[in-house]
């Protein structure tokens, strides 16, 4: 039962929600989004998701249509109206509806706000390993903005799927950036490595949680460039995202990673992640 969406102040059935053909999100992908995991009806790291949303809106010069407390209330209502439990809240803000299709902006546009809920399946699963393929990062140079313009990511995800893999791990000139819909971590000699947070990757909320948990448990964390050769010879590799939490990679293309089973560091951090979630939602 996740049929109720929030659109510009109204709670309506998904099937009857309508936006204008002149919405700049529809015409130009002129907008940003968030995916907020909800465990036992409680949003996880909401403050951080709202702060990233605000930062991305600022980068696009779109006025944030709601205060933090207003967002919280909208999200709480949506969770309740969609039956609660473990959900993923999709939140999208576009620049709004223009008078005509024109690259240039109209003054004083009212942003379009859409929120939807779907089941968060990962919350009920045990840790599972997946496979990945290495692909050239063909995207633009502002991957730090959580833009709804996801054509590059879509092409890469589907290319991975077509070659039988669960995720694409992307690189620019041999340096790993991130997954098509995730951040990337590797372990070598019990130290953790992840590419630095810059304009070439999205600063993942899950990435931050993993870094915090790893540092708290005494692991050395390096946020630095990773060459694909280092990735392929790592002891462990995993991806992280709100939708997938921590997903260990057992194989990248033909190369088995480590011993091909879920590694000890991924296992421990996954358990810590589950425990951390529970402390916040109970």
Ligand X SMILES: Cc1ncc(COP(=O)(O)O)c(C=O)c1O
Nearest partner of 33 among 25, 41, 44, judged by Cα: 25
CB of 98 or CB of 240, closer to ligand X: 240
Q: Out of 133, 194, 206, 247, which residue is the one contacting ligand X (CB under 6 A)?
A: 206
Q: Which regions of the chain does DSSP assign to beta strands (E)? A: 4-7, 10-13, 31-39, 42-43, 87-94, 112-119, 130-136, 167-172, 175-179, 183-188, 191-194, 221-223, 236-241, 245-252, 255-256
Task: For the CB of residue 160, give the shortest distance to ligand X in the complex, in Å.
Answer: 13
Block residue for tokens 């590797």:
186
Where in the sequence numbering do the catalytic residues fall?
Answer: 33, 146, 178, 202
Nearest partner of 178 among 162, 158, 156, 209, judged by Cα: 156
> What is the rounded distance in angstroms from the CA atom of residue 126 to the CA atom of residue 31?
34
CB of 11 or CB of 243, closer to ligand X: 243
**Per CB under 6 A, 210 contacts ligand X:** no
CB of 96 or CB of 270, closer to ligand X: 270
Give the three-class secondary structure for 119.
Answer: strand
Looking at 123-131, 220-228, 235-243, 274-282, which segment touches ligand X (CB under 6 A)? 235-243
Angle of helix 46-60 relative to helix 68-81, nearest 10 degrees, comes to 120
**Per CB under 6 A, 178 contacts ligand X:** yes
**Per CB under 6 A, 246 contacts ligand X:** no
Q: Do 34 and 91 meet the contact criterion of CB atoms below 8 Å apart?
A: yes
Q: Out of 98, 112, 182, 194, which residue is the one contacting ligand X (CB under 6 A)?
A: 182
- Interactions with ligand X, residue window 27-56 (CB under 6 A): 35
Looking at 118-126, 239-247, 250-258, 260-268, which segment touches ligand X (CB under 6 A)? 239-247
Task: For the CB of residue 31, give the shortest distance to ligand X in the complex, in Å.
Answer: 15
- Interactions with ligand X, residue window 134-163 (CB under 6 A): 153
Q: Do 214 and 165 meet the contact criterion of CB atoms below 8 Å apart?
A: no
**Per CB under 6 A, 177 contacts ligand X:** no
CB of 96 or CB of 204, closer to ligand X: 204
Q: Do 46 and 79 meet the contact criterion of CB atoms below 8 Å apart?
A: no
Task: For the CB of residue 106, give the shortest distance to ligand X in the complex, in Å.
Answer: 29
Count of CB atoms within 10 A of residue 135's CB? 21
- For binding to ligand X (CB under 6 A), which residues are involved? 35, 153, 178, 181-183, 202, 204-207, 240-242
């Amino acid at each position: 039962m996740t049929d109720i969406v929030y659109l510009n102040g109204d709670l309506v059935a998904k099937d009857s929600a309508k936006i204008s053909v002149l919405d700049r999100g529809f015409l130009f992908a002129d907008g940003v989004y968030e995916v907020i995991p909800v465990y036992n009806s409680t949003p996880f790291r909401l403050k951080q998701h709202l702060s990233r949303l605000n930062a991305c809106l600022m980068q696009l010069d779109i006025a944030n249509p709601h205060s933090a407390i207003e967002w919280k209330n909208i999200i709480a209502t949506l969770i309740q109206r969609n039956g609660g439990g473990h959900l993923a809240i999709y939140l999208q803000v576009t620049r709004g509806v223009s008078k005509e299709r024109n690259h240039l902006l109209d003054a004083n546009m009212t942003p379009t706000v859409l929120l939807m809920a779907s089941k968060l399946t990962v919350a009920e699963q045990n840790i599972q390993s997946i496979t990945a393929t290495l692909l050239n990062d063909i995207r633009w140079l502002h991957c730090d903005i959580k833009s709804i313009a996801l054509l590059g990511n879509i092409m890469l995800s589907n290319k991975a799927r077509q070659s039988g893999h669960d995720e694409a791990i992307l690189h620019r000139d041999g340096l790993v950036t991130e997954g098509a819909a995730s951040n990337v971590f590797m372990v070598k000699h019990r130290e953790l490595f992840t590419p630095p947070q810059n304009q070439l990757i999205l600063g993942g909320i899950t990435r931050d949680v993993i870094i915090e948990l790893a540092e708290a448990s005494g692991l050395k964390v390096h946020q630095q460039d990773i060459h694909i050769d280092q990735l392929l010879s790592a002891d462990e590799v995993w991806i992280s995202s709100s939708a997938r939490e921590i997903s260990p990679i057992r194989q990248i293309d033909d190369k088995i990673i480590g011993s091909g089973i879920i590694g000890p560091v991924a296992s421990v951090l996954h358990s810590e992640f589950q425990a951390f979630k529970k402390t916040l939602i109970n």
